[in-house]
Amino acid sequence: MRRIGIVGVGLLGSAVASRLLARGFLVAGHDVRRELLTALEPTGLVAAPSMAAAVADADAVFTILTTPDTVETVWLGPGGLLDAAPASAVLLQMSTIGPGLATRLGEAAQARGRRFLETPISGTSTLVARGGGTIFAGGDAGVLEACRPILDAIAAKTVHVGPVGAASVAKLAANLIGGINTIALAEALVLGAKAGLAPAKLLEALRQSPVSSGTLDSRGPLMVSHRFDPHIRLDLFLKDFRLMLEEGARLGVPLPLTSVAHQLCTAASAAGHGAEDLAAVITTLEYLAGIRS
């Protein structure tokens, strides 16, 4: 499997495409934002004018899209991926969606005799571009093994968590932990700042303590500098929090911390930070603490 089609080359899609191109895969990509394709063309990406063109000769196809509605339309809508992709291609869904939609996609693919995997990836686009991150795989173990060379080119680890649907649950769980950790760090830095301890000084101390984590390393500097270039856009994480709450409601599982995180991110988005990194949630906490107007 050397020919890869990618539908959606935003922050994460671009990182995935770059990883594959660097390892000699032939990659065609499509996105409605033509400028994203242009940025990758010098590295070898074939900029496809349509989804059908991106997947026409592919051995494997990834969808890496921003919302569940878009995923559903691309896969199941008229002229969608199940119609456009070659019958021999493995179809991989990498977007963060709920397990219900993942299961529907898997069932639709199976009904058409298609090989399907859900492969959401845990890690920021920056981490993925460096070869980090973990892919959660849901689906047939044999199909997964056939795709191992592709997945190994993208991420440091690929973990088979069970049937279709299980990987989406794992991804929501991972984002739940990562998102709440980010908000906890923001609270800690605001507490320190209100007490007169410089955020940079506190962050350095925390990074040398037992509570040090990847969140401190990746989002701490963004919070200290107040430069929120997106690794994961706040609005996308807001969507993920909503998916977590919907799944919790469906299963009868209370998610009180997730609910508060959703509210804080909603406030930060309403204040104009939705296109920035999730770390921008610190601005809402600073406002509530009277540090910033």
Specify if 252 maps to a domain. yes
Domain extent at residue 229: 169-288
Q: Is 256 left (phi over 0), alpha (psi -120 to 50) or beta?
A: alpha
**CB 85, CB 59: distance < 8 Å:** no
User: CB within 8 A of 53, min separation 6: which ones?
Assistant: 28, 30
* Residue at which a domain ends, from 128, 163, 198: 163
| 174 and 278 both lie in a single domain | yes
| Distance between first and last Cα of the chain | 54
Q: Tell me if 66 is assigned to some domain.
A: yes
Q: What is the mean pLDDT of residues 162-190?
A: 97
Looking at residue 173, which CATH number applies to its domain?
A: 1.10.1040.10
Domain termination residue (choose one: 127, 146, 163): 163
What does the alpha-carbon distance between residue 158 and residue 4 come to, in Å, rounded to a whole number? 18
Over the stretch 129-164, which tens digit does the pLDDT of each residue have? Answer: 999 999 999 999 999 999 999 999 999 999 999 999
* Both structure tokens of 128: 């993925």
Q: Which helix (H) or strand (E) holds 97?
A: none
Local confidence band at 1 (pLDDT 50, 70, 90 cut-offs): low
Same domain, 235 and 145: no
In a domain, 11, yes or no: yes
Q: Within this chain, do residues 154 and 173 fall inside the same structural domain, yes or no?
A: no
Residues 6+ apart with CB under 8 A from 222: 228, 229, 277, 279, 280
| Residue 293 domain flag | no
CA gap 245, 239 in Å, rounded = 10
Q: Are strands 157-162 and 134-139 parallel, antiparallel or unpaired?
A: parallel
Q: Which residues pair with 92 in a beta bridge?
A: 62, 117
Q: Are residues 145 and 210 both part of a single domain?
A: no
Q: In angstroms, rounded to a whole number, what is the distance separating the alpha carbons of residues 286 and 191?
A: 9
Are residues 119 and 8 part of one domain? yes
Q: Do 21 and 150 sit in the same domain of this protein? A: yes
- Tally of CB atoms within 10 A around 127: 21
- Assess whether 233 and 284 both reside in one domain: yes
pTM: 0.93
**Of 132, 163, 194, which residue sits at a domain end?**
163
CATH of the domain at 117: 3.40.50.720
Q: Dig out the tokens for 231 from the structure.
A: 């690794």
Separation between Cα atoms, residue 128 and residue 156, nearest integer Å: 9
Residues 27-55 have a mean pLDDT of 91
Same-domain pairing of 10 and 115: yes
> How many domains does the chain fold into?
2
pLDDT category, 23, cuts 50, 70, 90? very high
Rg of the chain taking only CA atoms, in angstroms: 20
With the CA atoms of 170, 173, 175 and 181 taken in that order, what torsion angle do they form, in degrees rounded to the nearest 10? Answer: -140
For residue range 97-115, what is the model confidence (pLDDT) as tens digits?
A: 999 999 999 999 999 999 9
